[in-house]
């Protein structure tokens, strides 16, 4: 077999944040597969087939990539951010389980800069100590599990980064998440809303949990919640690396 699959992260939005490794894979590809907005970031060229698909067909997309590679194609499966963070890398390996000889495939995971890390860098260093990332969407897990993880992470004193905080189909859930955070972290804990980081639409806002409103977030927003130790220094925000 001469084909391969590269699972690539396109970063948070700015083309300058796409890694040279990912650019090289895209230059060598015969096919690019991914969610419609991510494939739209790839410039068409002769010899390159683009395969945009809907967001809720991850396994079908992954299987398509493996089938093309088995036929000799050089396939890049694109995600935003990093492909291993709430993205396509897990889906490709899940699809790979159905193949009789998984090791027959040439698969590489090419890391990218996540929205979480890009947002943290813009803010300063709010994830400077122990932190966790939680996807607040309940598309692939029950909301009760989201609530449990959120509450336990807050009780453990982690800084937290939230992906997919609030959509038009589930606006009430982020309001509930804020209620849990206020219960567990207290009203003075700092929370940051980083929208469309590294794009022309970028917007940053840091408030206390007492001041936070559900409509401060949408699906283009990464929300970062600090710890009891997180504090401001000038216009920056940071969590000390030491812990008492």
Residue pLDDT, tens place only, 6-36? 999 999 999 999 999 999 999 999 999 999 9
Question: Terminal CA-to-CA distance of the chain, rounded, Å?
Answer: 55
**Starting at the edge strand that comes first in sequence, how are the strands of the sheet with 74-79 ordered?**
49-53, 31-35, 74-79, 4-9, 107-110
What does the pLDDT read at residue 243?
67
Residues making up the chain, counted from first to last: 244
Q: Give ∠ CA 65-136-63 in degrees, rounded to 5.
A: 10
Q: Decide if pLDDT at 60 tops 70.
A: yes
Q: What single-letter DSSP state applies at residue 172?
A: H
Contact between 74 and 31 under an 8 Å Cβ cutoff? The reply is: yes
Domains of the chain: 4-113 (3.40.1010.10), 116-238 (3.30.950.10)
Measured CA to CA, the distance from residue 124 to residue 80 in angstroms comes to 22
Q: What is the mean pLDDT of residues 49-63?
A: 91
What does the pLDDT read at residue 166?
83
pLDDT per residue over 138-189, tens digit each?
888 899 999 999 999 999 999 999 999 887 777 788 999 999 999 999 999 9
Measured CA to CA, the distance from residue 34 to residue 168 in angstroms comes to 23
pLDDT band at 206 (very low <50, low <70, confident <90, very high): very high
pLDDT per residue over 117-146, tens digit each?
999 999 999 999 999 999 998 888 899 999
pLDDT band at 67 (very low <50, low <70, confident <90, very high): very high
What does the pLDDT read at residue 163?
93
What does the pLDDT read at residue 242?
80
What does the pLDDT read at residue 140?
83
Mean pLDDT of the chain: 93
Contact between 168 and 90 under an 8 Å Cβ cutoff? The reply is: no
Taking alpha carbons only, the member of 123, 72, 96, 118 closest to residue 7 is: 96
What does the pLDDT read at residue 1?
53
Taking alpha carbons only, the member of 175, 173, 131 closest to residue 153 is: 131
What does the pLDDT read at residue 104?
86
Measured CA to CA, the distance from residue 222 to residue 191 in angstroms comes to 11
Measured CA to CA, the distance from residue 82 to residue 80 in angstroms comes to 6
């Amino acid at each position: 077999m001469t084909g391969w699959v590269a699972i690539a992260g396109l970063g948070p939005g700015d083309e300058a944040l796409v890694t040279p490794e990912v650019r090289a894979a895209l230059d060598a590809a015969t096919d690019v597969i991914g969610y419609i907005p991510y494939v739209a970031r790839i410039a068409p060229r002769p010899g390159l087939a683009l395969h945009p698909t809907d967001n809720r067909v991850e396994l079908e997309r992954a299987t398509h990539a493996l089938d093309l590679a088995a036929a000799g194609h050089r396939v890049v499966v694109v995600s935003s951010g990093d492909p291993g963070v709430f993205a396509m890398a897990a889906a490709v390996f899940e699809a790979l389980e159905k193949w009789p000889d998984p090791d027959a495939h040439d698969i590489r995971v090419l890391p990218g800069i996540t929205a979480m890390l890009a947002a943290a860098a813009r803010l300063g260093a709010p994830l400077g100590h122990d932190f966790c990332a939680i996807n607040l969407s309940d598309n692939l897990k029950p909301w009760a599990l989201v609530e449990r993880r959120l509450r336990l992470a807050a009780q453990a004193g982690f800084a937290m980064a939230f992906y997919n905080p609030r959509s038009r189909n589930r606006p009430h859930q982020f309001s509930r998440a804020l209620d849990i955070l206020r219960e567990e972290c207290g009203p003075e804990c700092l929370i940051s809303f980083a929208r469309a980081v590294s794009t022309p639409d970028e917007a940053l806002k840091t408030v206390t949990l007492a001041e936070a409103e559900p409509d401060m977030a949408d699906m283009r927003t990464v929300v970062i919640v600090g710890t009891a130790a997180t504090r401001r220094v000038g216009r920056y925000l940071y969590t000390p690396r030491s812990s008492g």
